[in-house]
Structure 1
Amino acid sequence: MLGSPDRPLLFLDVDGPLIPFGAPDLRPGGHLGDRAVPLPIGANPLLSRIDPRHGPRLSALPCDLVWATTWMADANEVIGPLLGLPELPVVDWPDSEEKSPLHWKTRGLVDWAAGRSFVWVDDEITDPDRAWVSAHHHGQALLHRIDPRRGLTHTDFVVIADWLARRSRSGR
C-alpha cells in the first residue's frame, strides 16, 4: 500500500542487495549465527543469505517500499515473509529489447515514480543511470548502488536514512 504522494518511494532490488552474491558471513562452525533464516525443505539455499534484521530497518525508513526486482510478485510470496514485511507494491516491467547504456529498469522506475522523490537500491546502477534520472525525473532521487558481494550494510542504511531525513527537512 502506498502512502501520501509527498512521501518518497524506495525501489528495492532483491538479488545483490538482499541476497548477497559473495561468500556468506559464516560464524565458527559454518553457521550464520543469529542471522540464519529458517527455510522450508527444498527452498533455494541462497535465501539463507537474507538478513532478517533488514526487514525492520527497511520498515522504519520514512518512505514507501516497492519491489523493483525480477522476482516480481514472488518477492511478496518468498522474500517479504523472511523479512517480516507486509505485501508491497511491485513494479511491473515492460518488455523491451532496446539497446541502451541505461539499466533496463531505469526508465520504468522513473515512470512508476511519476514525479515522486525516490531511492533506488540496486547492485547494477551506473553513472549513465544517474545522469538520465537527473535529466528526466522531476522529483529528487537517490540511486544507491549496493556492493553485490556484501548486500545491504549498516553504512548503506545510514546513507539512505540520511538522504530521506534531508529530503524531509527540506520539505521536498
Structure 2
Amino acid sequence: MKPLLFLDVDGPLNPYGALGAPAPPDGFHPHLMRPAGWSWPEPLTVLLDPAHGTRLRALRHRYELVWATTWEDEANAWIAPVLGLPPLPYVDFPAPAVPGPAGTFWKTRRLLAYADGRRFAWVDDDLTEADELWARRHHPAPALLLQIDRTVGLREADFERLERWAGKA
C-alpha cells in the first residue's frame, strides 16, 4: 500500500507569507478566490505555482494524495483545478480547532488517526519538533513531517526529498 501524502494548502502550496513582498516567489501567480468560509468583501489572494501540480501528479505513483488543510473539500473546488489535480480525499477537521497535546499542532492527532497505521508524509508550515516526536511515539509506521517555509512554499528540494522517502522500504 502506498504511503499517504498529506497536503496543506496555505504555506506549502500558497506561500501566503510572501503576499506583502514586491513580487511572489518564482513560478507563483496570484489567483483571486472566494471559498465559502471567506467572509471579507474582497476575494482572497492565493499564490499558486502550476509546476506544483505537475510534481504532485508525478508523486501519485508513489503516494496517495490527501488534502490536510482547513480548505477541506474546497481545495478540490479552488486549488485542484488551478494545479491540474483530480479531486482528492481530504481530512475533515472539526471546528473549532483544539490545541494538540504536548505542544503539538492541532492537526497532528487527527492526521495520525486518519493514517491509521499507514506510512505517511506531511507537508505543512506549522510543524515543529513536538509533532515529529509525537508521531514517532504514537504512530506505528514511519512518517516524514516536512516543515515548509510559508514565504517560499514547496521547492524542488522538498519534492526530491518526498520522492526519496517514498522509495524507501
Tell me if both proteins adopt one fold, taking TM over 0.5 as the criterion: yes
Whether 2:58 is the aligned partner of 1:60: answer yes
The equivalent residue for 2:6 is 11
Q: Which amino acid aligns with 1:155?
A: A
CA contact (8 A) 2:123 2:148 kept: yes
- 1:23–1:78 CA distance, 2 compared to 1 (3 A): same
Equivalents in 2 of 1:98, 1:79: separation in Å? 26
Q: TM-score, normalised by structure 1?
A: 0.81
Equivalents in 1 of 2:155, 2:83: separation in Å? 15
Deviation at 1:31, TM superposition (A): 8.4
- 1:44–1:134 CA distance, 2 compared to 1 (3 A): same
Listed as ranges, the gaps of 5+ residues in structure 2 are: 35-41
Percent of aligned pairs sharing the same letter: 45
Equivalents in 1 of 2:146, 2:18: separation in Å? 22
The equivalent residue for 1:69 is 69
SS in 1 for 2:66: strand
The equivalent residue for 1:146 is 148
Equivalents in 1 of 2:28, 2:118: separation in Å? 34
Q: Which amino acid aligns with 1:52?
A: P
- 1:106–1:40 CA distance, 2 compared to 1 (3 A): closer
Deviation at 1:139, TM superposition (A): 1.1
| Bigger CA radius of gyration | 1
Taking the TM superposition and a 5 Å limit, the aligned residue runs for 1:51-130 are: 51-61=49-59, 62-95=62-95, 97-98=98-99, 100=101, 101-130=103-132
CA contact (8 A) 2:18 2:25 kept: no
- 1:57–1:33 CA distance, 2 compared to 1 (3 A): closer
CA contact (8 A) 1:122 1:146 kept: yes
Deviation at 1:94, TM superposition (A): 3.2
CA contact (8 A) 1:37 1:50 kept: yes
The equivalent residue for 2:16 is 21
**How many equivalent residue pairs?**
157
SS in 2 for 1:55: helix
Listed as ranges, the gaps of 5+ residues in structure 1 are: 1-5
The equivalent residue for 2:38 is none
Equivalents in 2 of 1:31, 1:114: separation in Å? 37
Whether 2:143 is the aligned partner of 1:162: answer no
| C-alpha RMSD of matched pairs (Å) | 2.5
Q: TM-score, normalised by structure 2?
A: 0.82
Deviation at 1:87, TM superposition (A): 0.4
Higher-strand-fraction structure: 2
Q: Which amino acid aligns with 1:15?
A: D
